[in-house]
Structure 1
């Protein structure tokens, strides 16, 4: 078995500054306290990383390599709503990329985009002997719960029906049902902001719109303290909480980003075939040092699998 450390990070605007330049010192700072070097980084907001022959994407990979001391290869993903796709960075000494659709390829179906097929290099001497797994990275729609639900439906094929182990994640811009997750005071948010991640209840009050995540991982049953009717994906954050309920689940956005309190919206998800390989005690939401400005509006999330 081989340990594969995984990181998930939404780097605000991909490090692009208002003058069109890029700041990757904050990206390095975000990873400065990791205790295990990631073999795979799921990255959101690669803003304009295709421009200028990919100068920004290669600079980001070089900055991560300089900070973490391993080589990284980068592949850009696809996003319909603008020039800010997700990306994957991976260490080619540990992982072999076998499949990743070109974002401009008209032959790709939407549910195949942003999904990578990897082999673990040291798991076999030759190609046919190596163990494989799938990973995905997505950045769901921030403004519409209906759109997020549709995106979740496309992602659901990688749950219980996928026989390969799958672990993926992204900024999914929503939380899931369950009082063990971070909660938000919806009355503290302006009405137009409530509609982004919230929904109006029949009694007129506001609460979180959990439809997209509940479709993927199941609805929380307060009586049984279990999930039902999911499509076969499991939240690594919840796996870690079940392994040690004394550790509260932490928001993945920094304070003062969302009025009323931050939620867990950056998710690592594993399918049934992957869950035996997840190491729950490695799940960690990295809290920036409060003495300094945070490197992004979102927090770095890390975990590991043994596959």
Structure 2
């Protein structure tokens, strides 16, 4: 049992299709490296919202093995002999989401987050599906990487907010792409969402992140309000930083988030919250459509 608090470094990133190239059918892992480059220190919990084809592929080498090697090489330290070696022996859990290849994945440093059990889909309660139970500073925690499915529309977003919101009944640290925003003061909320979708040539986005009012106009969906009401803190809201995390200037929203259940023996350090700038993915390469978010969580000592 420890008698001091632990500082837990957390980051969530949504690299489009995990850098998967549909033409070559291989991942361009340098894009992930570029996106994570702003992190000066290795995160103890890394949430990746789109782990496209990380598992279930016939590729050699195996994509998940390549990712784990990459993560182990990004943050290095010097040994007594002056040689560099990887700092973090990450372990990975990739979620199962029927009908989707853009599934979320969770990567943790087992020296700080001691895994206990992974709950997949088969035979498990829906609320626990794709959840890692672990011990952090002698406290039990649930960790889950989320990617709410916007294609299910407003009704689906509400269902997902209610289902995952109930995780607040335990010590829990969730993060990922929620595909919805909140109505908090300072938050980006569009009253002309439908018109904006039309301006960018993607009218189908109306229901992915919006809701239709009785007068026929569309506004952005604020389903995070409903989720947070179940008993969660949102890192950006705690820090008073409402920087959008998607990059299209016409439709930018803060949908990538790190959330902590209020019952947890932990708190966000608001001074560490950051939305990181556009990653440089190489000459002529398109910028990613999401920005990385990071924050520190202070986990109190066990009584």
| Normalised TM-score (structure 1) | 0.82
1:139 is aligned to 147
Q: Structure 1, residues 34-71: CA drift from partner, whole Å, max 9, x if none?
A: 13320110111111111238811121121111112322
Q: How does 1:58-207 map to 2 (within 5 A)?
A: 58-69=65-76, 70-103=88-121, 106-120=122-136, 123=137, 130-143=138-151, 144-159=153-168, 161-162=169-170, 165-184=171-190, 185-186=192-193, 187-190=195-198, 191-207=203-219
Distance 1:14 1:267 in 2: 18
Residue 246 of structure 2 corresponds to residue 234 of structure 1:
no
The answer for unaligned runs of 5 or more in structure 2 is 77-87
Which runs of structure 1 show a deviation greater than 4 angstroms over 4 or more consecutive aligned residues? Answer: 289-295
SS at match of 2:166: helix
Cα deviation per residue 1:90-142 (whole Å; 9 max; x = unaligned)?
A: 11222211121234xx211221112211213xx4xxxxxx2332211111112
Residues 218-275 of structure 1 deviation map (CA, whole Å, 9 limit, x = unaligned): xxxxxxxxxxxx111121110010xxxxxx411111235xxx2300111211111237
Contact 1:47–1:85, Cα closer than 8 Å, also in 2 = yes
SS at match of 2:26: coil
Structure 1: stretches of 5+ with no match in the other structure: 124-129, 218-229, 242-247
**SS, match of residue 149 in structure 1:** helix
Q: How many residues align?
A: 272
- What SS does the aligned partner of 1:180 have? coil
Q: Indicate conservation of the 8 Å contact 1:8/1:169, yes or no.
A: yes
Partner of 1:252: 245
RMSD across aligned positions (CA): 2.1
Out of 17, 41, 49, the residue aligned to residue 13 of structure 1 is 17
Q: Report if the CA contact (8 A) 2:280-2:287 is conserved.
A: no
- Conserved 8 A contact 1:86-1:114: no
Q: Is 1:58–1:74's contact at 8 Å kept on the other side of the alignment?
A: no
Cα distance in 1 between the residues matched to 2:41 and 2:71: 14
Alpha-carbon separation, structure 1, partners of 2:145 and 2:281: 31
Following TM superposition, by how much is the alpha carbon of 1:168 offset from its aligned partner in structure 2, in angstroms?
A: 0.7
**SS of match in other structure, 1:52:** coil
